[in-house]
Amino acid sequence: MIQIETGWLLLIPIFFGLGWLASRWDLRLEARQDERERLKQQRSTFKGLNLLLNEQPDQAIETLVKVAQLDPETVDLHFSLGNLFRRRGETERAIRVHQHLANREDLKPRDRDHAAYELGRDFLRAGLLDRAEASLNQVGAGKYAIPAKESLLEMYQVEKDWKKAIIAANELQGLQDKSHQLEIAQFYCEIAQEALRRADFPEAEGAIHHALSAIPNHARALILQGDFYLANERPQQAIDVWAIVARENPAYMHLVADRWMAAHHAVNQVNLGLDQLLALLKTQAIGELLDIVHKHMMQIRGAQAAEVMLVDVMQHSPTLSALSKLAETRLALAEVTGPETRVADLKSTLGLLKQRTTALARYTCGNCGFRARRFYWQCPGCNHWEAYSPRRTEGAVPSGPSM
Ligand SMILES: [Zn+2]
């Protein structure tokens, strides 16, 4: 009896061994199946890439999308593919790839945000702004929250939707350690300028107030506040706020000098207004302010006084513009006193000088180097705010973009 029981006991390790062998066999079968699957996907991926290289992008997308359905590991490949299409300007294809990713149920939240962000960029590139906005707004809080918000901010500025731009800039400030107050002040200034154009004074006043809260004594906001007062027949108040610009940001005074004179005219103080602009010329003679002061000088005090002023300017801040204005003034004097030969001489000198100053006098963006004849608060080249120096210069003709 005891012998039989011992015999059975001996069988136990044998069964164990057989079980172990069977499980190994099963694992090997499974591994072989996985390997076959992997090779199949690899072949499909290669086929997709091959189609791509053979300039058959649509078939390539079909094949690669199928691979992605089988293998979630190819997500990165798809992002690269979508971005490649977008960079090549093939936005429709980029949208198809990114849309496919965004629709996948098995995507991790981080990849889903990434897909929504890329899709938003595609729609932006395609000019489908409503869809871009919807897609970018789907991006959750994570790695893509800041770039998505930055894209939205960029988009609202292109659309000139300043109210939404203010909200986006405020949200962006909450997400990153960077102030957007300067842009916010400019957005409010855009709203104020538009409201002043429509004579919507309550809206203009509110926007100016917000701009000045964002950046106290902001030059553009103060200029607009003066415009608001002047439009409401309060010239003295206009003069008072513009005097702050003259004191704090004199380089911007050329933007308001004509209205400054109009306001002084309204309070019967043209000479006081002109004297204050003349005082500014000591430091601000390089640029447009000189042209404006010269114009008013000719009208109010005549050509002789204008000539004295320009000779003085030429001594401390010689520029082609000042020389041109001097020739213009001397021509006006010679036309009265003669002789004929001097008039002819001055005319040819003036013609030459005007040609050169028109070709050279430009405002230059400090960010991208874009040069423009008129001053811009936002650079048309790179869209940066307050990147233009308020001083017009007469540098050599650059090779960069200009208008
Ligand atoms: Zn620029």
Taking only the tens of pLDDT, the chain with its 403 residues reads 445 566 666 676 676 676 777 777 676 767 677 777 667 666 766 776 776 666 677 777 777 666 665 566 678 888 888 888 888 888 888 898 888 888 877 778 888 889 899 999 999 888 898 999 999 998 888 889 999 999 999 999 988 999 999 999 999 988 888 899 999 999 999 999 999 999 999 999 999 999 999 999 999 999 999 999 999 999 999 999 999 999 999 999 999 999 999 999 999 999 999 999 999 988 887 888 999 999 999 999 999 999 999 999 999 888 888 889 998 998 888 788 878 888 888 888 888 888 888 878 888 898 998 888 889 999 988 889 998 888 888 765 544 555 6
Q: What's the gap between Cα 216 and its chain centre?
A: 23
Contact 135, 103 (CB under 8 A): no
pLDDT at 377: 94
State the CB neighbour count (10 A cutoff) for residue 194: 15
Q: What's the gap between Cα 341 and its chain centre?
A: 53
d(CA 186, CA 179): 13
The 3-state DSSP class for residue 20 equals: helix
Contact 181, 215 (CB under 8 A): yes
Contact 196, 227 (CB under 8 A): yes
Contacts of 147 (CB under 8 A, 6+ apart): 117
Ligand 1: centre distance to CA 166 (Å): 21
pLDDT at 399: 47
Ligand 1: centre distance to CA 186 (Å): 16
d(CA 191, CA 170): 16
- Region of 393 (left: φ > 0; alpha: ψ -120 to 50; beta: rest) is beta
Closest CA to 253 of 225, 228, 288, 224: 288
Fold of the domain spanning 180-270: 1.25.40
pLDDT at 369: 87
Ligand 1: centre distance to CA 220 (Å): 18
Domains of the chain, by residue range, sit at: 33-161, 180-270, 285-361, 362-403
Q: What's the gap between Cα 154 and its chain centre?
A: 6
d(CA 350, CA 328): 6
Ligand 1: centre distance to CA 367 (Å): 5
Contacts of 246 (CB under 8 A, 6+ apart): 253, 276, 280
Ligand 1: centre distance to CA 294 (Å): 30
Ligand 1: centre distance to CA 284 (Å): 23
- Determine the longest span between alpha carbons in the chain, in angstroms: 149
Burial class (CB in 10 A: 0-12, 13-18, 19+), 345: middle
Ligand 1: centre distance to CA 342 (Å): 44
Q: What's the gap between Cα 211 and its chain centre?
A: 19
Ligand 1: centre distance to CA 175 (Å): 26
Per the document, the length of the chain is: 403
pLDDT at 1: 47
pLDDT at 66: 66
Which helix (H) or strand (E) is 371 found in, with range? strand 371-372
Ligand 1: centre distance to CA 121 (Å): 22
Closest CA to 63 of 40, 88, 31: 40
Structure token pair of residue 7: 């015999």
Contact 353, 327 (CB under 8 A): yes
Closest CA to 274 of 309, 324, 249, 236: 309
Number of H helices, E strands in the chain: 18, 2
Ligand 1: centre distance to CA 387 (Å): 6
Q: To 10 degrees, what angle do helices 235-248 and 257-266 make?
A: 140
Contact 75, 111 (CB under 8 A): yes
Structure token pair of residue 395: 């540098």
What is 33-161's CATH number, 1.25.40.10, 3.40.1350.10, 3.40.920.10, 3.10.20.30?
1.25.40.10
Ligand 1: centre distance to CA 399 (Å): 15
Same fold, 33-161 and 180-270: yes
